Amino acid sequence: MEPTRVRELMQTRIVTVSVTERLSTVDDIMRLGGVRHMPVVHQGQLVGVVSERDLLRASLSQIGSFDRETHRAFLHAVAIADVMSKPPTTVEPDETVRAAARLMVERRIGCLPVTCDGVLQGLLTETDVLGWVARSQDEGEGAESRVERARGGESPRSTRPGPSRD
């Protein structure tokens, strides 16, 4: 069986943000769009990634300013370039998902921009990888159950009635 490649799991409909935008823009997009990671671009080139974690870290630096207006003014004053993770750790579309997952664990990051010849192609997130693991496990358990039944045994989740114990 061929290993699964990043291109098979990556999201291709991604939201990017310009390095010249303010953190308040990122906050709006993340809250309204349910986005947790955004590649940051400058003149079409990937220059970083901003995440919910980066947004939280910046917000916590102003822990004494809790009212919404003050918080919003603070976010508007912060440039994305000041809080984004840079340089971005990237992966190519033909890399294996297993290798990409290892890289995410080693670097303690929640996403990998997928690039080919320096051009942003997509985004692989921890959610994409976990979904792949869950599906792989489900398929593996299905195969184990079929093997067990072929041997004449019961699978642990079998719904077939067992022998009567009357």
Residue 159 lies in a domain: no
Residue 165 lies in a domain: no
| Residue whose structure tokens are 């045994």 | 153
CB environment 133-150: b (16+ within 10 A), e (fewer):
eeeeeeeeeeeebeeeee
d(CA 97, CA 39): 19
Residue 157 lies in a domain: no
Q: Which domain holds residue 24?
A: 6-150
Q: Model confidence over 54-109: pLDDT tens digits?
A: 888 777 655 555 667 777 777 787 888 888 999 999 999 999 999 999 999 999 99
Q: Count up the domains in the chain and report the number.
A: 1
Instruction: State the pLDDT at residue 146.
Output: 45
Bin 43: left if φ > 0, else alpha if -120 < ψ < 50, else beta.
Answer: left
Average pLDDT over residues 11-19: 93
Residue 33: pLDDT over 60: yes
Residue 126 lies in a domain: yes
Q: Model confidence over 111-140: pLDDT tens digits?
A: 999 999 889 999 999 999 999 999 888 776
d(CA 103, CA 107): 6
Residue 166 lies in a domain: no
Q: What is the CATH number of the domain that holds 116?
A: 3.10.580.10
Q: Record the pTM.
A: 0.76
Residue 161 lies in a domain: no
Residue 1 lies in a domain: no
Residue 81 lies in a domain: yes
